[in-house]
Amino acid sequence: MQEILDTIKQAKQTIRAYRYALVGNQVLTRYALVDVLLKAVGWDVHDPAQVFPEWDMGHTGQKAEYALLDTAGRPVAVIRVTPLSGFAVPDLAKFAGPARESSIPFAILTDGNLWLVADTAPGRALQDLEIMRANLETDPENFLLLNFASLAPLNLRELELAYFLGQPARSVEGTPPQLPSQGRLSSTGALPGPAARRGGTGSLEAPPPEPSSVAIPSQAQINSAEWQPISDIVNVITPPMLLRFPDSSVENTQGSFQRVLAHLAEYIIRHNKYFQAPVEDYEGKKRFLINLIPVHKDGAPFGAKVMLFNGWYMETDYSLADCKKNAIWLIQKAGENPHHYFFS
């Protein structure tokens, strides 16, 4: 992730320093901006098995400057590059049309600074094609990091780009589209249902109820609860029903250790401006507990990902014992004291 952030900063500097040359020069735009950003997110621009230049979009008679290929050599996205400041936003639909006719899932239009991404799924109306817009010069770096990370090979090849960007995901081989709300933690704390828990290997609890059934704890429940510090959670067997935070706010965990983790993460993120992703889990080896994209250090996808309120992802595919350890670790990682957080 640091490489992507560093490359974004470098690209901004390039635009400022060489704007006079980039305007009107498509070759320089490709070389100095597009190639370096594609490389940073994981595409080998020198390997035609991954990135094929001057891609012919079949009977449409259109060409793209790049095609990003899946492992079978099929294009999952095509990219049209113009010189800096060389296109208008409506041009995206004009480019996405031939991509759709060629059954290419995504179409990307960029001048090196402004990046527009279209989902060409047949069911999308022309005005709904755009699913991502990123402007290197004007957008905040955290926003840019999340958006460019979504263009990584794993995401495009698994057709999950729309999921990352808060859009309805396209269906694959006739399966129903997965809505992003299935993986996003709502204000009531709903964890993803079975459809969002793909590839899990650890011991998971039963899927929590849907958001509408998660009750807000009453004042009577809060007053009658027997509160214990989170530091003692390793000694309990039954999952907590309530969490109480340092500001005395309370969340209903519905008897789920995974939900305990997610609620703790969201509280810390909201109240600690210095808390940044990625965050390793308590073992600190190959796995992330929280990351900007749902991928571990070794490239393996999260087993049971939860999208937090700010777009970060949390891994919840842990045994009950590891959930407890990660809960304490998460608080300590934020520089706080587990004795100031309570469960019941």
Instruction: Render pLDDT for 182-207 as a digit per residue (tens, 0 to 9).
Output: 333 333 333 333 233 223 333 333 33
Q: Looking at residue 3, what DSSP letter applies? A: H
Residues of the chain with CATH 3.90.1570.30: 2-164
Beta bridge pairs of residue 130: 118
User: What is the rounded average pLDDT for all residues in the chain?
Assistant: 79
Q: pLDDT tier at 60 (50, 70, 90 boundaries)?
A: confident
Q: Which residue has the higher pLDDT, 193 or 38?
A: 38
User: Whole-model pTM above 0.85?
Assistant: no
Per the structure block, which two tokens stand in for 166? 């808060």
* Long-range contacts of 242-248, Cβ-Cβ distance < 8 Å, separation of 24 or more: 242/217, 242/343, 242/344, 243/341, 243/342, 243/343, 244/341, 244/342, 244/343, 244/344, 245/341, 246/336, 246/340, 246/341, 247/271
Strand partners, 52: 67
Q: How confident is the model over 249-259, as pLDDT tens digits?
A: 998 888 888 88
Q: Provide the CATH number for the domain formed by 2-164 in this structure.
A: 3.90.1570.30
